[in-house]
Amino acid sequence: MKAFIKFDINVLTKKLIENLLTPFDIKFRIIGFGEIEFLEKVSQAKIDEITIVLNEYGIEIIENQKSILVQKIKDTIVEMVNTEDPLNVKSSVYLAERLDHSYGYLSNLFSEVTYTSIENYIIIQKIELAKNLIINNQMTLTEIAYKLNYSSVAHLSTQFKNITGITPSAFQRILKKRREIAIKNL
């Protein structure tokens, strides 16, 4: 039997971090997506133990200042893309204000560390959310385009195809066919 699930990556990640860190008996708080604060002194040996446990889940502790800021950029973009209401401000202004750096600096740093642009990363995150919304059958393509701040369904479709290789409509047809096959096989 195949089941389709819906989940909130922010809630999932927060709960996972809480579950992984609690056994270490260290006081901590989750500040925001991708950021925690230890509320007491933690030995390097304990940090090493925590690192090993987190790495099993693809989570790593970042210590390099440039990498920390790049991670904050990524986290802010994920938060921005996944917000309930479309933003009424350009992403460049949003990032600069949220991270308290000029957009030029953020853009150059991001490209230097990740070898891609902030704009491309935003598009990838939007398309991932669009795929999830299509999978969960929550919205029409018009509603998805509006939610993700696209000027039209055609604009969404073009970027979707550039990233995935297929149009959103083709993606919907594939999902429908898979669901029909899954139901037949029950």
What are residue 157's phi and psi, to 5 degrees? -60, -40
Residues 6+ apart with CB under 8 A from 181: none
pLDDT at 36: 83
Q: What pLDDT is stored for residue 116 in this prediction?
A: 93
Q: Are strands 28-32 and 35-38 parallel, antiparallel or unpaired?
A: antiparallel
Q: Judge whether 152 lies within some domain.
A: no
Look up the domain containing 11 and give its range. Answer: 1-61
Domain count for the chain, please give it: 1
Stretch among 45-49, 82-86, 101-105 having the lowest mean pLDDT: 82-86
Query: Which pTM was predicted?
Result: 0.69
Q: Which tokens is 11 given?
A: 């809630």
User: What's the CA dihedral at 26, 30, 31, 34 to 10 degrees?
Assistant: 110
Domain contains 46:
yes
Asked if residue 43 belongs to a domain, the reply is yes
Distance, CA of 180 to chain centre: 30
Maximum CA extent, the chain: 57
What pLDDT is attached to residue 130? Answer: 93
Spatial distance between the Cα atoms of 76 and 95, rounded to a whole number of angstroms: 7
pLDDT at 95 over 90: yes
